[in-house]
Structure 1
Amino acid sequence: MDGLVFGLCALFGIAGTALSAREAWRQRYRNEYRIARFARAVAFGVCTVGVILAIPPIADLAESVTGLHNAAKLGAHICAVLWCGSLQFMLVDWSYNHEVLRASLYARIAFAVCVLAAMLPLFIETTDDSIEFTTEYATVPGVTVYLMVYLAYVAITCGEIAFLCSGMALFARQTAHAWTARGLALSAVAAVFGVAYAASKGSYLVTHYLGHPWPLRVEEIVSPVLAGLAVIALITGLTLAMVGRRRSSREVPTSQAA
């Protein structure tokens, strides 16, 4: 299941990264929303790396090359944190005015740094050849705490992404930017899938701690599917929004000339 889901995500990620990087390069001298364009390209890029590391054969290769057990898991989780943080950068640049933009960006950088600063020592202290950083090893306290820190960050950031995208989608719809509105609406739905992914894994860890876990086999199917839906829908939605913005910018000069 993981190989199929994350392999498909990787294909979407490669395409989305190429399109976003091309757009960022094409408009590199344009100051308006420069941070957003760069952040979107970075987000798609690190997401692609993360989902590639989540493909089982690639994960095995990464561990054999680095000699570090769970190296691929750590890399994928770091990429997920950077992916969510970069998306926040993009949406903050789109949504906030310049007076509060810098402070908003710094706050999100600090949040991501704190999360990584909590995850890395937990990983170093817990990792072992007999342990995997998955819900299957919820009996290991270090694994549970590590995953809960990571999942809490994903849930919080995806919640903000859903909120900001839904608000911008409504505004775009009111201003007759149909493609942008559809893309942002799809992105909001994708972020909800991200929250659901975190809730799926997190609820298993919590119920396991309480002594009444729901079936692990179900969680191992549901969580990757939710993660895959979140990645694919978010890349697709933000790419549609990018296309919508380009169409709108082309239509304005045309309407003015008419």
Structure 2
Amino acid sequence: MSELTGINNVAKLTAHLAAVAFMGSLQIMIVDWTHTRAHMAAAVCSRSALILAIQIALTWQFVAANHLGLSFTTDHADNVQVVAYLLTYLSFGAVAGLEIAILSAGMALGAWARRRSIAIGLAATALGGGAVLAYTVSKGGYLIAYQVGFPWSLSVEKAISSPFAGLGTLLMVVGLCLPMASHRATVDSAATS
């Protein structure tokens, strides 16, 4: 992508902006399920404003730091501009992952008695939010520890963070799809009866 656009690291920026949009959209969808009509507009608007602010901040920080030719990863924890960019991204991920985990877990508990497939899907989504939180704490913790002079091994950070990132995304997507697939199977079996 960098060769196509002529901008170094643009694929990393695009991936991070997409992750913020995905997590933020999931937050908004869950808010729609958990908030009353009276509080819906404020909840959606506040999250939308935060998503936009984070994306603007990431883009601004990217432009400010990208001239250095460094990749935007923990490999460059010695560069303050790269660290600031990553901590902005990771901070949003931590907040979003925590909110998704808490709200989805609450809905899963509430749905367990009546709709098991929905409860299982929401539980998977909650676990995905927790995995994203673990990813951000691992990666962000490494960056902060490096800045204060007490980092652990970069290979340990990568071994911990990468699986949490993939697991978080997988569980959230599966968690959202599972109730719909189960609902569709129920509708199809009722139609053939």
TM-score (norm 1): 0.70
Q: Distance in 2 between matches of 1:216 and 1:191?
A: 24
**C-alpha displacement of 1:212:** 1.0
1:241 Cα deviation after fit: 2.3
Equivalent residue number for residue 116 of structure 1: 55
Secondary structure of 1:128 counterpart:
helix
Alignment of 1:76-155 (within 5 A): 76-128=15-67, 130-155=69-94
Alignment of 1:204 onto 2:137: no
> What is the CA-CA distance between 1:117 and the residue it aligns to?
2.1
Aligned-pair CA distance for 1:125? 0.7
Report 1:1-258 matches (<5 A): 62-128=1-67, 130-174=69-113, 176-246=114-184, 250=187
Structure 2: gaps (5+ residues): none
Deviating above 6 A after TM superposition, structure 1's stretches of 4 or more consecutive aligned residues are: none
TM-score normalised to structure 2 length: 0.93
Alpha-carbon distance in structure 2 between the residues aligned to 1:74 and 1:101: 31
Listed as ranges, the gaps of 5+ residues in structure 1 are: 1-61
- How many residues align? The count is 189
Q: Following TM superposition, by how much is the alpha carbon of 1:233 offset from its aligned partner in structure 2, in angstroms?
A: 1.1
* CA positional deviation for 1:130: 2.8
Taking the aligned partners of 2:80 and 2:21, their CA distance within structure 1 comes to 25
Comparing 238-247 and 193-202, the one that deviates more: 238-247
> Equivalent residue for 1:33?
none
Identity of aligned residues (%): 37
* Cα shift at 1:167: 0.6
- Deviation at residue 246 of structure 1 after TM alignment: 4.6
Distance 2:75 2:103 in 1: 34
1: CA distance, partners of 2:40 / 2:180 = 21
Q: Is the 8 A contact 1:177 1:244 kept in 2?
A: no
CA distance in 1, matches of 2:45, 2:69: 39
What SS does the corresponding residue of 2:44 show, helix, strand or coil?
Answer: helix
Residue of structure 2 in register with 1:27 after alignment: none
Q: Take 1:245 and 1:106, find their aligned partners in 2: how far apart are those partners?
A: 30
Q: In angstroms, what is the RMSD of aligned CA positions?
A: 1.6
1:234 Cα deviation from its structure 2 partner: 1.0
Query: Do the aligned residues in 2 keep the contact of 1:179 with 1:243 (CA within 8 Å)?
Result: no
Q: Could you tell me which amino acid in structure 2 is paired with residue 75 of structure 1?
A: T
Equivalent AA in structure 1 for residue 48 of structure 2: I
The residue type equivalent to 1:178 in the other structure is R
